[in-house]
Structure 1
Amino acid sequence: MRETNGRHDYSGRRALVVGGSIGGLTAALLLRRLGFDVTVFERTPTDLDGRGGGIVLQPDTLRWFTECSEQHPEQVSTGTRYVQYLGPRNEILHRDPRPWRYTSWGTFYRALLADFGTERYHLGEYAAGFDQDDDGVEVRFVSGRRERAELVVFADGIGSASRSRISPGSVLEYSGYVGWRGTVHESEVSPETFELLHDSISFSVAPYTHINIYPIPSNEGGLTAGNRLLNYVWYRNVAEGADLDELMTDKRGFLGKVSVHPGQVQDRFVEEMREVAGTVLAPAAAEVVRRTEQPYLQAVYDVGAERMAVGRVALIGDAASAARPHAAAGTAKAAANAWALYDALGEADGAIPAALAKWEPGQLELGQRLLRRVKEMGTRSQVDCTWVPGDPDLRFGLYGPGQ
């Protein structure tokens, strides 16, 4: 096996990536750099461009664009200089000079897909099962398609069908609360609200609830202040069982396990959400919530992997372990998994199962450590009400607060 820049070259070998979102595309691009012939299969039948809201960008997430792409971070993101907490009259309770960069899910997805290309990116293919032998893995799709490769990476999100095969003890656990999400163009809020929010990630904290708001690129690609969207996540407690099921039933009558998409949340719940915003949130945060035309819902779940690799098959990102969003580390963890896999394979002698076995322990530990931290953060905000503005333990970070 010949080496390139100190890394083993896997030319002539094939890799399949199941899941065409941000984590899957990052993995696909890195595997292709190692010489693999890479094909991506995404179960959604239509283009993913319009999906998702905002992403807080951490170094692992941005690494592809800082080290490998002709596109640069400033072309796919926007930024602010401060982290602040707002009081009940919009007073600033705490502010730190702490710069962060953000993107929208669609902006980042488009940029990664532009680098990967669409020739080997297939929509509408749901992977139902797989089998492997000493030489490779066969993946079976519900369409009847069968694909064989020397390496398969499952990056198919929190609902991964293959997690139960690789890590059968890993099950979704409901946190006790949901995240209301939405976006509003900066031009649609009052001048006072724009001035207060445009250069910060802003928190409003009340008993058993909190919201964070930050600017992301607009759908038209606007990256500068005044041309962006204000994106938020508002966490609200909802009891598991009948209350949660009723909330997560969309306008068509279908129960969403994890999410209810924009335009599908029942009107009565949207009206209640807008009304309550004015009573518990800082006025600026409440204005952003009330001006959202189509808010949507995500039930907040935890799931931790006990295994991430079996033979020639690996799980990455939320397909392995999904952590509550409080550390803003979900996409960063998926990217970190992909970069670590790139390193493990590149440093190996070409034996894929051995490389995955070496890669797995560190990635399991990373996911478990993140899960422990975000559970504690969620308990402080939604249960114990001990979330204190400015507490350094509550900072974003994949590897620890502020890291």
Structure 2
Amino acid sequence: MTLRIGIVGGSMGGLFAASLLRAAGHDVHVFERSERGLEGRGAGLVGQRELYAILRLLGCEQAARVGVLAHERITFARNGSIAQRDVTPQTQISWDHLYRTVRHLLPPAAYRVGARVVRVENTSSAATIVLDDGEAHRFDLVIGADGVGSVVRPAVSHGPTASTYAGYVAWRGLIAETHLPAAAAAVLSERFAFYHPRGSQILGYLVPGPAGETAPGQRRYNWVWYRQAAEGLALDRWLTGSDGRLRAYSVARGDVPLPLCDALRETAREVLPTPFVLAVEAEPTPSLQAIFDYESTRMVRDRVALLGDAAFVIRPHTAMGVAKAAGDAMALVAALDRLPLERALFVYEAERLAEGHRLAVYGRELGRPLTI
């Protein structure tokens, strides 16, 4: 049976589901709120079993080969010396290249940008996506793949649907490899590096260039600095953009006020080892992401299903966010392939609900040292 399916959210989870569903013969429409799509917003991601599996299904295995290999993991001491060394090679795949590859599987008409969904109306016979201009679209099934601030959740859950702040944020930098000072590159390049001051953590690694370049000199250095920020005035100050407006979850590159960028670099000089100080100072336009938690008590109701971070917000320490979205998408499409819609949604929820809870718990455990 061919279904008319609407997907709210056009990041990796929404793209995975849309591509698999379209290949299965369904009429699929993706609604993405950003004006130009999401290309250029990602850095690198760790390849997991689910990611490789879904790329095989989509015939896009080559996308997983566009990555940069870190030959070892190192942990710094405060004086900049290497306190620990672990020879565990790991490849960081290009998020941007992966996004472009999967998005190109969809015809342009199936991926609508600038589409701001405000709610989903759910009944036993259909679900309707309502946009901010009042435009409404009726579907046999609506999939919520709209992440941490999901507007689809209320159509599924009768309980709380807001994500909960975890007590800390991730400052992020992404700089051209050639802009990384030589003294830092000599220590950081080809390695996955960490430093763990109390209540904080910074890590960094090389990722492919913006067009998937992997040759030395054409790559980018990505760093992530987790720092505590009390909910209230401290967090609100960091989440306020350069226009003075408070952001809900993150502040994009180029939108962090200059005084906050200066304060970030000053704090780096006070608390970080020199290689990371140089990496932080080399980023002129850092971004900021507040870390949140959310766990669904259910993933389906009537004609609506949740997928990826819309169902469970998995903390980034797990490196499982994209992989979990891929697993959700594969499970949902496989169930729809062999079962009537109502039964398929029941089976999907039964299969993926426990996995979502497991990863959410794992992520909180990994993040516990950052809340001390």
TM-score interval w.r.t. the shorter chain?
Answer: over 0.9
> Alignment partner for residue 177 of structure 1, among 168, 173, 197?
168
Where 1:148 maps in the other structure, the secondary structure is strand
> Alignment partner for residue 133 of structure 2, among 139, 143, 147?
143
The percentage of counterpart residues that share the same residue type is: 34
Structure 1 match to 2:104: 114
Structure 1 match to 2:218: 227
Structure 2 match to 1:359: 348
Higher mean displacement: 78-87 or 131-140: 131-140
Does residue 11 of structure 2 align to residue 21 of structure 1? yes
Where 2:138 maps in the other structure, the secondary structure is strand
Give the AA of the match of 1:164. P
Higher mean displacement: 281-290 or 129-138: 129-138
Alpha carbons 1:27, 1:338 under 8 Å: kept: yes
Alpha carbons 1:172, 1:303 under 8 Å: kept: yes
Give the AA of the match of 2:33. R
Distance in 2, matches of 1:267 and 1:104, equals 29
Distance in 1, matches of 2:56 and 2:3, equals 27
Higher mean displacement: 174-183 or 368-377: 368-377
Structure 2 match to 1:56: 46
Alpha carbons 1:318, 1:330 under 8 Å: kept: yes
> Alignment partner for residue 231 of structure 2, among 232, 240, 243?
240
Structure 1 match to 2:262: 271
Distance in 2, matches of 1:381 and 1:374, equals 12
Structure 2 match to 1:398: none
> Alignment partner for residue 283 of structure 1, among 274, 288, 306?
274
Q: Rate the CA distance shift 1:134–1:301 in 2: closer, same or farther, 3 A.
A: closer
Where 1:64 maps in the other structure, the secondary structure is helix
Q: Cα distance, 1:75 vs. partner?
A: 4.9
Higher mean displacement: 359-368 or 43-52: 43-52
Structure 1 match to 2:252: 261
Alpha carbons 2:52, 2:61 under 8 Å: kept: no
Alpha carbons 1:198, 1:225 under 8 Å: kept: no
Task: List per-residue Cα deviations over 1:167-217 (Å, max 9, x = no partner).
Answer: 232332111111100112121223342232222221111111111111111
TM-score, structure 1 as length reference: 0.87
Give the AA of the match of 1:224. A
Alpha carbons 2:50, 2:323 under 8 Å: kept: yes
Which ranges in structure 2 are unaligned for 5 or more consecutive residues? Answer: none
The Cα RMSD (Å) is 1.9
Structure 2 match to 1:165: 155
Structure 2 match to 1:156: 146
Task: List per-residue Cα deviations over 1:115-156 (Å, max 9, x = no partner).
Answer: 223231111112223334444323222233322222211111
Q: Rate the CA distance shift 1:69–1:211 in 2: closer, same or farther, 3 A.
A: same
Structure 1 match to 2:76: 86
Size of the aligned set, in residue pairs, is 371
Distance in 1, matches of 2:369 and 2:131, equals 43
Distance in 1, matches of 2:205 and 2:338, equals 39
Distance in 2, matches of 1:16 and 1:77, equals 32
Distance in 2, matches of 1:130 and 1:219, equals 35
Give the AA of the match of 1:225. P
